[in-house]
Homo-oligomer: A and B are copies of this chain.
């Protein structure tokens, strides 16, 4: 058995089921080994930003790691941006980066580069494998790290001789099961504080937010009177009719500090103390009031479900809060804008969908109307590195083939990793893409005005404008094998979504929604 095969057998034995890949010459042994390890499904992506974004989406839904397989420094570099998002989401991922045989590095061949320097910023665990005889244990350690608390990104750099050499042992290395961190004390502290104080108490939840977490949080609020906030971009949150919903911390710092004024103690669960997305002149980094105390309740886990439930029990909070059912907003036929888009989506989305939200400014209505929609999970852009939505939809669909995936995608961000559409077609994934074509980097138009430039000249306008020429997303989708249609009005968008979900057809579909 060669090192590549033993590495994959070790991963398979630990329950790894999928490998998103764009291999090259230095990964040929892994390509062959994938045929010998049929427990692991291999999925070709036509760009590494799709590879890593898919692994992120998979990790957020499956809550266990996918493998990625990428080619040397440059191939890996293409995947860094979506690993940045995955790092912020604490998604579990195990990256396999092929490198030249170690004796070949000195020659500084054309593809040689400092992979360690490239990988370090996005890898909580980073290890360069020494030989075929250590590749099994290295894989086991990487998987254990990815499954730790919090879950994280583990990266193995694999000199090619470690893949092609014969191993001493053919036995997969066992992967130790991560111990849950002991949070008894912190939960006790948080419970005491929430119980004793009535005013200025806040609870900030984030990370991976299940329905059970939201119910626990709501019951804590009902019992203690604390205010609950959700982080601006949780990695995954359950939403919809009958689920408690909490205000997210506003995106712009001046709105956030105003909203959070008066909080004197903030208990956090699955989230960190909130900071501004950007620093503006004269602005501030930290959003909580200056003397606000921050108390972490659930330790390092990014899924605070167990911690919140224990906190609720410690407070003797009611097991369940009454469900709040909001009536669906009627959507009159008319132009598609940032608000009406959300209303249409809420009214047409199927039960138990996974919504991937990289709609940027076009998605404002999603937050407004989500609580009217059938229950679903929403995935957010956690790290601000655009191009995450379409790849995450690929990964989410492969993690939960029984659930419909609905990707609400801004056009500017969508162009970053549009190669995702091809993988959706090849793998026949149940993904519906609503491509929000406002033909601008709209958020930058806002930000330019915020920077003091109210009258952009032709250069500035040209850098924020996606027209001249307009992108035709129906052609782009069809060019990659994904059927597609255009919606010009809310009525057309509703109709296309209704047909899509009545047909129950296999495979992906893209709707280009022209934003007014």
Contact = CB atoms under 8 A, between A and B. Distances in A.
Contact of A458 (B35, B47, B120): B35
A277 B418 CA distance: 30
Interface in A372-395: 382-385, 387
| Overall SS of chain A's interface | helix
A472 interface: yes
Interface stretch (A107-115, A192-200, A306-314): A107-115
B383 A459 contact: no
Contacts of A278: 25-26, 100, 104, 109, 111, 160
A109 B285 contact: yes
Contact of A422 (B108, B382, B448, B471): B471
Interface string A282-324: 0001100000000000000000000000000000000000000
A415 B472 contact: no
Contact of A46 (B280, B415, B426): B415
Interface string A411-442: 01001101100100110000000000000000
A364 interface: no
Given A23-B444, A471-B480, A161 B384 contact: no
A474 B458 CA distance: 31
A35 B459 contact: yes
Interface string A75-116: 101101100110010000000000011011011111101100
A212 interface: no
B384 A74 contact: yes
Nearest to A79: B77
28 contacts: A21-B463, A23-B444, A24-B444, A24-B447, A25-B278, A28-B453, A31-B456, A32-B460, A35-B457, A35-B460, A44-B462, A46-B412, A46-B415, A74-B384, A78-B80, A78-B387, A103-B279, A104-B279, A104-B285, A107-B275, A107-B279, A110-B233, A110-B383, A113-B122, A416-B419, A422-B471, A472-B480, A472-B481
A86 to B, nearest CB: 11
Given A32-B448, A103-B279, A425-B469, 15 more contacts: A28-B450, A28-B453, A34-B459, A42-B462, A49-B78, A74-B81, A100-B278, A103-B285, A104-B276, A107-B279, A107-B286, A110-B382, A118-B118, A472-B479, A474-B479
A114 B83 CA distance: 13
A47 B28 CA distance: 29
